[in-house]
């Protein structure tokens, strides 16, 4: 695939460059609580602007239902982008309508504009090729070339990700080039031992990647809500913990295959429990207790790894040469249940391994818990995209950038 450096070499002064970014930041009302995704695309936008391009930035935010919804406006992200660039950023209040056309037409060389949330138009996410294509046609009218740099969306077959690059000269931005380079280190010529840490709520979200990693990883550490389905599959009671009973046969098969292939599956040996899910707004004390993972009492909910599990997981990561981590170990947003996630992050900081934090909640946890992002090998901006890449799937947004 061609890169942004090739586009810059061709010359962009006075040209309109459409940058498909991922500005899908978490919001508390109109306040951005984590601007990591905006900062990740900053090098691409800044470089284009410095070279005199008229930069048109587009993204989705949240899951609006194909119509404008103020709760999902990109206005806060546009404002934050301007602060980070140290320059005014114009904002169009629609995607391909009068405001977008006028805003783009009003750009001078080196200026940046953000158009409104792409998902306010039903054509962005439509499963109908013609409807998606029609929206892509209108987006293409806003630009002379296309730069794909929204890694968090490349696993989606959406108009701005998949269809639009076919209509314009297309290039990969710095972020996508970096992300793909890192993920190749996890799939080809992997330095061993190769350890994978998987957490999060649901086993079903990780089935594909577990299946793929059984052929590649040396050890797989399981935490988060999904751990309780694994514990149940081993015959343990899990109280009122999150459980996907329909996934137990699949989990039992994975455990069997792992033993057959010599892949070490590491599960919690103790867990932190409470009578109910904690209040994440007030952070009120949740009255946690720690119990053995094979002796969870009825009516108690597992919400984090326990201290012995934290020591065990740290020991399993200490000698690794490569680590991929996706998904928190517990309800890290509450102080009573953050230790498991903190322990994994600290183990990666302490380890000499090349460590990749696979986006989503894991990336958010690293920032919320106060870790220096530079202490990790790479923090991905795309949790879902990273997982699908590791599953060996073809990602539409990457395929569209290939020539």
> Considering 15, 20, 37, 206, which one is annotated as catalytic?
37
pLDDT at 306: 98
- 10 Å Cβ neighbour count for 317? 25
Phi–psi pair at 203, nearest 5 degrees: -60, -40
| Residue 80 annotated in active site | no
List CB contacts of 36: < 8 A, sequence separation 6 or more. 25, 363, 364, 367, 373, 379, 381
pLDDT at 364: 86
For residue 368, the 8-state DSSP code is H
C-alpha–C-alpha distance, residues 344 and 268, integer Å = 13
Q: Which residue(s) pair with 83 in the sheet?
A: none
- pTM to 2 decimal places: 0.88
| Residue 2 annotated in active site | no
pLDDT at 403: 76
Which single residue is written with the structure tokens 């932190």?
272
pLDDT tens-digit readout, 330-343: 999 999 999 999 99
Token pair of 119 as six digits: 């998902």
pLDDT at 94: 98
> Strands 170-172, 145-148: parallel, antiparallel or unpaired by DSSP?
parallel
C-alpha–C-alpha distance, residues 167 and 141, integer Å = 10
C-alpha–C-alpha distance, residues 276 and 281, integer Å = 15
pLDDT at 392: 86
> Considering 340, 360, 382, 397, which one is annotated as catalytic?
360
Q: Which residues of the chain have pLDDT under 50?
A: none
| Residue 306 annotated in active site | no
| Residue 311 annotated in active site | no
pLDDT tens-digit readout, 273-301: 999 999 999 999 999 999 999 999 999 99
- 10 Å Cβ neighbour count for 18? 25
Phi–psi pair at 171, nearest 5 degrees: -145, 155
List CB contacts of 310: < 8 A, sequence separation 6 or more. 339, 340, 343, 344
Q: What share of the chain is helix, strand, coil (3-state, %, to 5)?
A: 40, 15, 40
pLDDT at 382: 85
> Strands 170-172, 322-326: parallel, antiparallel or unpaired by DSSP?
unpaired
């Amino acid at each position: 695939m061609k890169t942004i450096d090739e586009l810059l070499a061709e010359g962009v002064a006075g040209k309109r460059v459409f940058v498909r970014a991922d500005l899908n930041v978490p919001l508390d009302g109109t306040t951005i609580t984590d601007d990591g995704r905006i900062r990740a695309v900053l090098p691409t936008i800044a470089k284009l602007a410095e070279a005199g391009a008229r930069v048109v930035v587009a993204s989705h935010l949240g899951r609006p239902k194909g119509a404008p919804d103020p709760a999902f406006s990109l206005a806060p992200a546009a404002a934050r982008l301007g602060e980070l660039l140290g320059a005014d950023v114009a904002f169009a209040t629609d995607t391909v309508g009068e405001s977008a056309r006028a805003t783009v037409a009003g750009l001078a060389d080196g200026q940046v504009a953000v158009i409104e949330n792409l998902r306010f138009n039903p054509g962005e996410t439509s499963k109908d090729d013609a409807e998606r294509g029609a929206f892509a046609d209108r987006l293409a009218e806003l630009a002379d070339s296309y730069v794909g740099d929204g890694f968090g969306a490349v696993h989606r077959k959406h108009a701005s990700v998949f269809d639009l690059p076919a209509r314009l000269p297309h290039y990969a931005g710095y972020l996508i080039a970096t992300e793909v380079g890192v993920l190749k280190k996890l799939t080809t010529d992997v330095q061993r031992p190769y350890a994978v840490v998987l957490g999060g709520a649901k086993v079903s979200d990780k089935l594909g990647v577990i299946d793929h990693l059984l052929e590649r990883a040396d050890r797989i550490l399981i935490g988060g809500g999904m751990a309780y389905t694994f514990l149940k599959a081993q015959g343990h009671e899990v109280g009122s913990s999150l459980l996907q009973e329909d996934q137990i046969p699949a989990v039992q098969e994975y455990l069997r295959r792992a033993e057959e292939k010599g892949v070490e599956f590491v599960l919690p040996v103790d867990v932190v429990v409470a009578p109910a899910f904690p209040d994440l707004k007030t952070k009120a004390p949740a009255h946690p207790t720690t119990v053995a993972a094979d002796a969870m009492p009825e009516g108690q909910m597992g919400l984090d790894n326990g201290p012995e599990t934290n020591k065990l997981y740290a020991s399993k990561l200490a000698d690794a040469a490569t680590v991929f981590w996706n998904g928190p170990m517990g309800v890290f947003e509450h102080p009573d249940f953050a230790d498991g996630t903190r322990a994994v992050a600290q183990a990666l900081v302490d380890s000499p391994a090349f460590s990749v934090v696979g986006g989503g909640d894991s990336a958010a946890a690293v920032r919320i818990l106060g870790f220096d992002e530079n202490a990790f090998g790479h923090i991905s901006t795309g949790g879902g995209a990273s997982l699908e890449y590791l599953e060996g799937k073809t990602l539409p947004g990457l395929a569209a950038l290939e020539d």
